[in-house]
Amino acid sequence: MLKSVGVLLHGNVALFEFGVVYEVFGLDRSDDGVPVFDFRVAAPEPSQPLTVGRGISVQVSHTLDECRDVDLVAIPGGKTDGNYPEEILDTVRAVVDNGGRVLTVCSGAFVAGAAGLLDGRRCTTHWRYGEELARQFPKAQVDTDVLFVDDGPVTTSAGTAAGIDASLHLVREAWGASVANRIARRMVVSPHRDGGQRQFVDMPMPACSDEGFGELLGWLLEHLDRDVTVDAMAERMHMSSRTFARRFVDEVGVSPRRWLTEQRVLAAKELLESTDAPVEEVARLVGFASATLLRHHFAASVGVSPLVYRRRFARSPRH
């Protein structure tokens, strides 16, 4: 269970990246039914203020030794030159050896790489640093088209705000969708942001605490071209429609119909990027009854029409 969180700071502190982790794990939201995390901020020399810039500094109160037994250690962005305090790397390794997890935000992935935790794993970082991360750690599988990557005990997130997505994902895994949704509402952010480092890419699949809902989501994704009603979904889950709709929102964060529409739009994005199929055919393949309906939902979700999206992001077409 995720109960204790340590944040490792060193050098010049990336204030926003640190703030993201603090917003999700550091604030006391127990009045809203959110668990209070044991939140520790540590540095190699706690007595020395850390520079943010513009005359701003940060003073921490914990030593690195006090973060070796946390459930999750978070590393905000920072420098990418590989010159990291050895005690920082030892602390990160110790957390993993003790069964804990690592979360990196933006260029914090370089610290995880220097600690040897990215070898053989998928990972991400800010799109500006993707090539450099792959160069420094050739055994890592770097993907800069996603918001975050979960691989084993390491969760890496993309530029800055993607740390919110990754942090909420970890809360959702440990405490369920309801707690993650409460935090998201207090932060006034989406609990499931569709997007990536390009303007429009896939959104992460929600982690459901109920295996039945996870299986249902997988089945729906495999059958997007079918007209599946909420009643039919409820029947597959052996629930009444009302109970199913309520449980679905608790698990996923949005209504069944909205989630299914979002997935159809995402599938349409992929087809528009990777094929030259007409919009009418794309609509049929992803389960919209007509091209008009696809255009309506696509524009509402993405902000541009399918054809404009295709002009911006089409890759070499394949059928």
Give me the pLDDT at residue 202, please: 45
Q: Does residue 238 share a domain with residue 173?
A: no
Give me the pLDDT at residue 193, please: 58
Give me the pLDDT at residue 180, please: 87
Domain annotation covers residue 200: no
Give me the pLDDT at residue 315, please: 64
- The residue segments making up the domain with residue 152 are 4-187
Give me the pLDDT at residue 196, please: 47
Domain annotation covers residue 246: yes
Task: Using DSSP bridges, classify how beta strands 148-151 and 154-157 pair: parallel, antiparallel or unpaired.
Answer: antiparallel
The total of structural domains in the chain comes to: 2
Question: CA-to-CA distance for 199 and 201, rounded, in angstroms?
Answer: 7
Q: Does residue 267 share a domain with residue 162?
A: no
The model's pTM is 0.64
What residues contact residue 90 under an 8 Å CB cut-off, 6+ apart? 64
Angle at 121 between CA 200 and CA 144, to 5 degrees: 20
Cα–Cα distances in Å, from 9 out to 4, 48, 106, 157, 291? 17, 11, 14, 17, 51
- Residue 223 is classified by DSSP as T
Domain annotation covers residue 202: no
What residues contact residue 29 under an 8 Å CB cut-off, 6+ apart? 182, 183, 186
Question: CA-to-CA distance for 29 and 10, rounded, in angstroms?
Answer: 28
Give me the pLDDT at residue 159, please: 82
Give me the pLDDT at residue 201, please: 39
Angle at 210 between CA 204 and CA 220, to 5 degrees: 55
> Residue-wise over 43-75: b if at least 16 C-beta within 10 A, else e?
bbebeeebeeeeeeeeebebbbeebbebbbbbb
Q: Does residue 178 share a domain with residue 228?
A: no
In degrees and rounded to multiples of 5, residue 157 shows phi and psi of -120, 160
Q: Does residue 245 share a domain with residue 168?
A: no
Ranges in the chain, pLDDT < 50: 195-204, 317-319
Cα–Cα distances in Å, from 230 out to 54, 103, 113, 216, 227? 54, 36, 45, 12, 10
Angle at 194 between CA 134 and CA 220, to 5 degrees: 105
Choose one of 155, 187, 219: the last residue of a domain: 187
Nearest Cα residue to 199 out of 52, 305, 302, 71? 302
286: amino acid identity, one letter: V
Domain annotation covers residue 241: yes
CB 115 within 8 A of CB 123: no
Q: Does residue 279 share a domain with residue 171?
A: no
Q: Does residue 172 share a domain with residue 217?
A: no
Q: Does residue 294 share a domain with residue 153?
A: no
Beta bridge partners of 101: 72
